[in-house]
Amino acid sequence: MNILSDTKTIIALGFLLLGILILSTSKLPESTQYYLTVDELLLSEKSYAGQNIKVAGLVVENSVDRDAQHSTWNFLVRHENQSLAVFFEGAMPDTFSDKAEVVLTGRYDESSRQFIATQVLAKCASRYEEKLNRPLEEKENKTKDA
């Protein structure tokens, strides 16, 4: 009788593990999202139109137009020879600026040829490089003065 209850327990655990495996693999494609460059998006824009995607690029200098009253932003991002118009509504990260590297989450609207961003992640390397190089420059200046 003990063997029978052990067998039932093992079978129940097997079904439980199988259920967890099926649920985790079925949700995996929805939770993983790779990003495209601007060039890749525009090359196959019809296949990405309306889908939730991520796009990476550089903010084009002097392209940022902000409407503070409505918290909306219009700007261009580029990669190599292609640029993409972007619309975003909401608070922009502090690191967002001209020439910043950005990763945008949202959807591409084929009719307006514009990317409607729901999230903007920005990286401004110059701010970090400046802080990293400052101690080295100070050290070099002290050595020269001595």
Q: Are 88 and 30 in contact (CB under 8 A)?
A: no
- The residue range of the domain holding 60 is 33-129
70 half-sphere exposure, CB direction, 13 A CA radius: 9
What local confidence, expressed as pLDDT, does residue 132 receive? 43
What local confidence, expressed as pLDDT, does residue 16 receive? 83
What local confidence, expressed as pLDDT, does residue 146 receive? 54
Residue 59 counted as domain residue: yes
Sign of CA dihedral 39, 42, 43, 49: positive
DSSP code string of 67-135: ETTTTEEEEEEEETTEEEEEEEESPPPTT--TT-EEEEEEEEETTTTEEEEEEEEEE-HHHHHHHHHHH
What local confidence, expressed as pLDDT, does residue 133 receive? 46
Residue 134 counted as domain residue: no
What local confidence, expressed as pLDDT, does residue 10 receive? 86
CATH number at residue 108: 2.40.50.140
- pTM for the structure as a whole: 0.64
pLDDT-flagged residues of the chain (< 50): 131-133, 136, 139
